[in-house]
Chain A
Amino acid sequence: MTIASDDPRVAAAAAPPPAPPPGPPVRRRRRLTRNRWGYAYVAPFFVLFACFSLYPFLYTAWISLHEVRLSDIDGAEFVGLGNYTALLQNEFFWNAARNTLTIGVLSTVPQLAMALGLAHLLNYKLRGRTFYRVAMLMPYATSIAAATLVFAQLFGHDYGLINTLLEAVGFDRVDWESGTWTSQFAISVIVTWRWTGYNALIYLAAMQAIPGDLYEAATLDGASRWQQFLHVTIPALKPTILFTIVVSTIGAVQLFGEPLLFSGNGMTSGGVSNQYQTLGLLMYDQGWTNFHLGQAAATAWAMFLIILVVVGGYALLARRRARAER
C-alpha cells in the first residue's frame, strides 16, 4: 500500500510508461493548460484506484502463487504455479468453465439478437415510444437478487407459474433446477430478461445515428425493408454490435449472483451435481466456503485471462474482417 500516497505524482508513477494517447486523432489546437494541475485533478481517482484496484489486483497475483488460508494469512507458503496446475487438473474448474461457456452463449446470443430486432421496431415512428422504452428498461433497474428470487419462484417445480402453465397445456412438470440444461436455460432466461431492453436501447441510439439518405438511396434501388435492415442497418451497427458482444462477454465470464440464488438454499455448489456452478461461483466457493485463498486467487486470474483471450480474439476477427472488406 505504499502506492496510496497523497502525492498525485506517485499515483501517476504507478502506471506503465507513457504511450501515445488512444482514440481518434482529434483536431488538436494548442492545448490550453500545459501544467501540472492535471495530476491534481486525476489524483482523487487514482489514489482510490491504487488502494482499491491496482493493489488488490497485484496482491491477488501474489496470493495465487501461495498456499494461503483465510484463517492464517501470515502463514502463506510459496507454491509457485502450484495453484494453477492444480486448477488445470481440477474437474470442478473444467465443469465450471463449461457451465460458464454454455450459460454465456445461451444468455448472450439470443439476447443480442432480440435486442437488435427490438431496436429495429423501436426505430419506427411510434405512439407512446417513451412507455415502451421505459417498460423495456425496467428489468435493468431490477437487482440480480430480486430478479433471481422471482424467477426461482416462476421456475419452481411444484408451485411455479411456468410449470402450472405447462401442465395446463398438457405437458409434464419440469424439474428446472435439477437438470443441467434446464437449470442453465432458466439462469440464461434471467440474464436475458435483465439485459435485452438495455442493449436494445444501445442499438436504437446507434440506429438513429444512421443518416436517412442511406435508406432513401436503398429504397430508390428497390431494396425491401428486410434488405435494408441487412444491408444498411447491420453494417452501420457493426462497431456497436462488437461493443455489446465484448461487454456481454465480460459480464458472462463473471456470472455469480444468479447461480448463487437460483438454488434457493444459498449453497455455493451450483446445484447438487454442480450442474450450474459458474467460474464466479466456484471462485467464491473456494475462497469463502473452503477458505483456499490461493486456489480462489488462481481462479480469479484464470477468469481474467479468459476475458483477455476472448476479447483479443474478437478484436483480431474484427480487424481481419475489416481488412477483408477493404
Chain B
Amino acid sequence: MTTLASAPQETVSVAGPVATPRRRRGRRAGKVTAAGPLTYVLLGLTALVSVFPLYWTAVAASKTNAELAGTPPPFLPDADLFTNIGRAMEEAPIGLAIVNSVVVSSCITVGTVLCSTLAGFAFAKLRFRGNGALLALVVGTMMVPTQLAIIPLFILIAELQWVDHLQAVVLPTLVSAFGVFFMRQFLSQALPDELLEAARVDGASTLRTFWSVVVPVARPAMAVLAMLTFLTAWNDFFWPIIALTTDNPTVQVALAGLGGGYVPDTAVIMAGTLIGTLPVLVVFVVLGKQIVGGIMQGAVKG
C-alpha cells in the first residue's frame, strides 16, 4: 500500500501521467541554449540553500547554545562534535536504530521490487479478466491518505503482539501501488511482445519466461525502484512512530524521541540528527546521479 509507504507525494510522482507523449530521442528534443552568468548565480544559491541546513547540523552539533547565538555566529564545526555524538548515542539508541533501519529498509526494498515487478508485468502484458479494474484500484489507492489505515493496523499489530517488532513496520509498507504502476509503465514500453512470443514458441514455462526474459529487461527500472523505495522506507515516519517505540526504533523513531523534549541540549539533538542522516546522505552522494536520472526517467514514462 502506498499510503503506508510514505506520503503519496513521494510515492506517486515518479511515474505519473506526466508524459508529454511526443518525447523524441535525439538531438531535436529540448532547447539547448548556453546558460548566462545569472543562471549560474541563481542555481548556485539554490544549491547553497539546499545543502546549508545539512551543513549547519554539523555546526550546531558542536556548539553550545550560547556559542550558537554569538555574533558573528560560528560557521565551522569543532571537536566537540564527537563528544556530542557520543552523548547523543547515549541518550538515544541510535546505533541500534541505524541497524534496524538498514534491516527494515532492505526487506521493504526487496519485497516491494519483487511484488511490483511480478504485478507490473502481469498488468503490462497479460490478459486476464478484471485486469483493468484491478489496475484502476491500484492507482486509486495512491490518493488514500495513510491515516485511513493506521487505526486497524495498530489494532492488528497489538493483537499479534508485534509492537516494537520490525515486521510490524515491514509488512504493511511492502504494499506499494506506486511500484506496481511504475513497473507496469516501464514494461509495457520496454518489453517487446515478440520476445514473449518467442519464449512461448520455445516452450518456456510462464515462470521460466519471467526469470529469463522479463527480469533482464526490467532490471534498470527495478534498480531505480529499489533506490527510491529504500530512500522512502528509510525516511518513513508516520507508521513507524506508531508501530515502534524508542526501545527498538528505526532512525526516524529515534530522532522523534530525541526531538520530543527529553533532551534539553540542542547540540545533542543536532548530533543525533547528523548521525541518523549521514548513512543515507552518503549513499545519496554516491548514487545521486542515478537517483536523479531515475526520477527524471520516471517522470517522462507514463
Are A and B part of the same complex?
yes
Which residues from chain B contact A126 at a C-beta distance below 8 Å?
A: 35, 39-40, 43
A212 at the interface (CB under 8 A from B): yes
A103 at the interface (CB under 8 A from B): no
Select from chain A the residue with minimum beta-carbon distance to B1. Answer: A53
Partner of B259, one of A121, A136, A149: A149
Q: Is the interface of A mostly helix, strand, loop or mixed?
A: helix
Q: Is the interface of B mostly helix, strand, loop or mixed?
A: helix
Which among A54-62, A89-97, A177-185, A269-277 touches the partner chain?
A: A54-62
Which 7 pairs between the two chains have the least Cβ-Cβ distance?
A251-B9, A266-B260, A38-B128, A21-B132, A41-B122, A124-B35, A53-B1
Which residues from chain A contact B68 at a C-beta distance below 8 Å?
A: 159, 161, 164
Select from chain B the residue with minimum beta-carbon distance to A213. Answer: B28
Which residues from chain A contact B65 at a C-beta distance below 8 Å?
A: 158-159
Please give the distance in Å from A21's CB to the nearest CB on chain B.
3
B222 at the interface (CB under 8 A from A): no
Q: A125-B34, A141-B281, A150-B56 are known contacts. Are A247 and B8 too (CB-CB below 8 A)? A: yes
Query: Which size bracket describes the interface of B in this complex?
Result: 35 or more
Q: Tell me whether A118 and B292 are in contact (CB under 8 A).
A: no
Which positions 4-21 of chain A face chain B at CB distance < 8 Å? 12, 15-21
B276 at the interface (CB under 8 A from A): yes
How many A-B contacts if CB must be within 8 Å?
417
Q: Tell me whether A53 and B141 are in contact (CB under 8 A).
A: yes
Q: Tell me whether B115 and A38 are in contact (CB under 8 A).
A: no
Please give the distance in Å from A74's CB to the nearest CB on chain B.
11
Which positions 25-74 of chain B face chain A at CB distance < 8 Å? 27-36, 39-40, 42-43, 46-47, 49-51, 53-54, 56-57, 60, 65-66, 68-69, 71-73
Which residues from chain A contact B142 at a C-beta distance below 8 Å?
A: 250
Q: Tell me whether B260 and A209 are in contact (CB under 8 A).
A: no
B96 at the interface (CB under 8 A from A): no
Which residues from chain A contact B144 at a C-beta distance below 8 Å?
A: 53, 57, 304, 307
A240 at the interface (CB under 8 A from B): yes
Which residues from chain B contact A211 at a C-beta distance below 8 Å?
A: 22, 24, 28-29
Select from chain A the residue with minimum beta-carbon distance to B63. Answer: A159
B229 at the interface (CB under 8 A from A): no
